[in-house]
């Protein structure tokens, strides 16, 4: 029998069949065995009510190391153990190396070209290659030891002169190191514009990348509404953030180009690549964003841990005294510790290791499942957000004895507990590319500070003030501002801090 349906009727019937097929497929997927967890509005009340990593820790305690929170069609897979994280993000890294789509941060604010948010594609791999060549091992970082020493001593002097601005001094220390390597830029004494620019940009990055903070990330079509409409304030904010990011990328890059033209450029990642013949626009653009990633990354996570070091020493004088005794026996009082002393200072090494476990600058890492997957009988749908609770893993009582204690001894002896670097620096193909540089700069800062300073609680009006461990921030966190007393250990120690130190051998 010949069909008498018109083309419009055929299209309508076909569309209806497609809708029904999608509905049936969706119902089928929803009935598959998702990890246990919570659904609907309960996700907002339990997960997004305060510090996200605490809500996720509670969810894992209730439902196991692999849990799920579902809102409408969005599934969030929450991982609360190192084993599950390694099984998925390390062993199945092909499926779990991309980031979820980020409309507010990645698209509207422009952060999508920074390696932190880029998907694991050719752009991302080109950045990783540049990082590996520059700071990808202890041996490549070793060529920067003298410069790191110079910046660390400069920071000690600034803290000695103005201890009330401790956090600003530490921030400048790590930003200065990153800028020297990325762009050959020497920060000014006092307030430096590029240090301040990085702080502003990183604060905005943390705000815009916070999971669940922006409706446009849940309903991407909102990105197309005019910015003048009521409720479209996020678009106006994103425009402001994009302007700051533009400066973060362009200002130091143009600085290197001007220095190269004048013949005064210092060695750096940017000057090395820009100085090569046959440079294409594509290579330069890639370099510009890779160098910005190094500058931006070095300006935040390391300084977050560095500031937490002073809190740890304020709260744990026993640990400080034990580290100082080791430093005194190995280094003595006539000089400052250097990288050459590091192998002879096991307690100092354990102290820095414990610091990485105790304070987590990025409590969560987030990925996206590219294709459907199955793990231990549970279904992980393609497109799911996959969150690893780094903060909780580093406080897992199954791994660390008395995890809330600050106890470097846990990493010494015949049976040390697992090194936190396997977790806190990320997993798989997205493991932090600044791992070796960050650890080295942090170690020297801690060692030289303990060699010269006594750090203790403040006393105000005869009352000793005990600061609290309190993480503040969103995607990137810091310890809340606190007060402590920082004094030179002796007149000899003060003289060492003020001693001139040249970058030239």
- Mapping DSSP to helix (H, G, I), strand (E, B) and coil, where does residue 487 land? strand
Q: Is 484 annotated as a binding residue?
A: no
CA distance 104 to 207: 10
Instruction: Give residue 94's pLDDT.
Output: 93
Average pLDDT over residues 33-43: 86
Instruction: Give residue 505's pLDDT.
Output: 55
Instruction: Give residue 84's pLDDT.
Output: 96
The answer to whether 219 and 104 are in contact (CB under 8 A) is no
Q: Using only C-alpha atoms, what is the Rg of the chain?
A: 25
Q: What are the residue ranges of helices labelled H in 48-81?
A: 52-63
- Chain centroid to Cα 337, Å, comes to 27
| pLDDT tens-digit map of 247-256 | 999 999 999 9
| pLDDT tens-digit map of 219-275 | 889 999 888 888 889 999 999 999 999 999 999 999 999 999 999 999 999 999 999
End-to-end Cα, the chain, rounded Å: 95
How many Cβ atoms from other residues are within 10 Å of residue 483's Cβ?
A: 14
CA distance 7 to 370: 37
Instruction: Give residue 214's pLDDT.
Output: 84
Q: What b/e sequence results for 216-226 when a residue is b if at least 16 CB atoms lie within 10 Å of its CB, and e otherwise?
A: bbeeeebbeee
Instruction: Give residue 414's pLDDT.
Output: 92
Residue 18 has pLDDT above 70, yes or no: no
Average pLDDT over residues 190-216: 90
Residue 297 has pLDDT above 80, yes or no: yes
Higher model confidence: residue 357 or residue 48?
A: 357
Q: Residues with Cβ < 8 Å from 340, sequence gap 6 or more?
A: none
Residue 278 has pLDDT above 90, yes or no: no
Higher model confidence: residue 79 or residue 428?
A: 79
Higher model confidence: residue 65 or residue 3?
A: 65
SS3 content of the chain, % helix, strand, coil (to 5): 55, 10, 35
Q: How confident is the model at residue 504 (pLDDT cuts 50, 70, 90)?
A: low
Q: How far, in Å, are 30, 120, 188, 405 from residue 386 at the CA level?
A: 17, 15, 42, 29
Instruction: Give residue 230's pLDDT.
Output: 87
User: Looking at the DSSP assignment, which residues form a beta bridge with residue 387?
Assistant: 78, 366
CA distance 206 to 230: 24
User: Looking at the DSSP assignment, which residues form a beta bridge with residue 66?
Assistant: 79
Average pLDDT over residues 415-434: 90
- Chain centroid to Cα 457, Å, comes to 28
Q: Which of 312, 402, 388 is nearest to 353 (CA)?
A: 312
CA distance 80 to 71: 20
Q: Residues with Cβ < 8 Å from 284, sequence gap 6 or more?
A: 273, 274
CATH class of 35-498: mainly alpha
The answer to whether 461 and 469 are in contact (CB under 8 A) is no
Q: Residues with Cβ < 8 Å from 112, sequence gap 6 or more?
A: 102, 105, 106, 118
Q: Per this entry, what is the length of the chain? A: 505
Residue 14 has pLDDT above 60, yes or no: no
Instruction: Give residue 301's pLDDT.
Output: 87
* Averaged confidence pLDDT in the chain: 90
CA distance 336 to 148: 13
Q: How confident is the model at residue 5 (pLDDT cuts 50, 70, 90)?
A: very low
Q: How confident is the model at residue 372 (pLDDT cuts 50, 70, 90)?
A: very high
- Chain centroid to Cα 264, Å, comes to 33
Residue 42 has pLDDT above 90, yes or no: no
- Mapping DSSP to helix (H, G, I), strand (E, B) and coil, where does residue 191 land? coil
**Is 233 exposed, middle or buried, given 0-12, 13-18 or 19+ CB atoms closer than 10 A?**
exposed
């Amino acid at each position: 029998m010949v069909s008498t349906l018109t083309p419009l009727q055929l299209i309508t019937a076909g569309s209806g069949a497609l809708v029904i097929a999608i509905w049936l497929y969706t119902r089928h997927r929803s009935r598959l065995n998702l990890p246990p967890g919570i659904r609907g509005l309960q996700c907002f009340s339990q997960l997004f009510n305060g510090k996200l990593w605490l809500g996720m820790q509670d969810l894992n305690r209730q439902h196991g190391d692999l849990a799920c929170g579902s809102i409408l069609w969005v599934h969030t897979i929450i991982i609360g153990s190192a084993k599950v994280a390694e099984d998925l993000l390390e062993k199945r890294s092909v499926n779990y190396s991309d980031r979820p789509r980020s409309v507010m941060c990645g698209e509207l604010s422009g952060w999508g070209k920074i390696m932190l948010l880029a998907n694991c594609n050719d752009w991302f791999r080109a950045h990783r290659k540049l990082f590996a060549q520059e700071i990808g091992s202890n041996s490549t970082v070793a060529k920067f030891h003298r410069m790191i020493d110079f910046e660390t001593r400069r920071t000690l002097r600034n803290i000695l002169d103005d201890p009330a601005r401790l956090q600003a001094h530490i921030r400048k220390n790590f930003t200065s190191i990153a800028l020297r390597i990325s762009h050959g830029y020497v920060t000014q004494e006092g307030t430096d514009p590029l240090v301040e620019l990085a702080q502003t940009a990183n604060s905005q990055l943390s705000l815009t990348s916070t999971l669940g903070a922006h409706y446009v990330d849940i309903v991407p079509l909102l990105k197309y509404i005019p910015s003048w409409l009521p409720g479209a304030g996020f678009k106006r904010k994103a425009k402001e953030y994009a302007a700051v990011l533009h400066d973060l990328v362009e200002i130091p890059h143009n600085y290197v180009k001007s220095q190269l033209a004048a013949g005064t450029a210092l060695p750096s990642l940017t000057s090395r690549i820009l100085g090569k013949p046959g440079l294409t626009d594509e290579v330069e653009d890639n370099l510009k964003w890779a160098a910005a990633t190094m500058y931006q990354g070095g300006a935040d996570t390391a300084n977050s841990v560095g500031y937490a070091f002073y809190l740890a020493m304020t709260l744990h004088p026993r640990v400080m005294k034990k580290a100082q005794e080791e430093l005194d026996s190995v280094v003595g009082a006539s000089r400052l510790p250097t990288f050459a002393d590091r192998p002879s200072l096991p307690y100092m090494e354990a102290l820095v290791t414990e610091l990485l476990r105790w304070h987590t600058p990025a409590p969560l890492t987030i990925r996206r499942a590219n294709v459907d997957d199955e793990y231990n009988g549970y279904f992980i749908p393609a497109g799911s957000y996959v969150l690893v609770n780094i903060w909780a893993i580093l406080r897992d009582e199954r791994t660390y004895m008395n995890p809330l204690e600050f106890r470097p001894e846990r990493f010494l002896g015949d049976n040390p507990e697992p090194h936190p670097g396997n977790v806190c620096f990320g997993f798989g193909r997205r493991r932090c590319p600044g791992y070796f540089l960050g650890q080295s700069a942090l170690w020297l800062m801690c060692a030289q500070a303990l060699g010269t300073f006594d750090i203790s609680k403040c006393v105000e009006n005869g009352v000793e003030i005990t600061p609290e461990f309190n993480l503040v921030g969103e995607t990137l966190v810091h310890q809340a501002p606190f007060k402590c007393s920082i004094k030179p250990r002796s007149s000899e120690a003060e003289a060492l801090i003020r001693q001139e130190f040249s970058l030239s051998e």
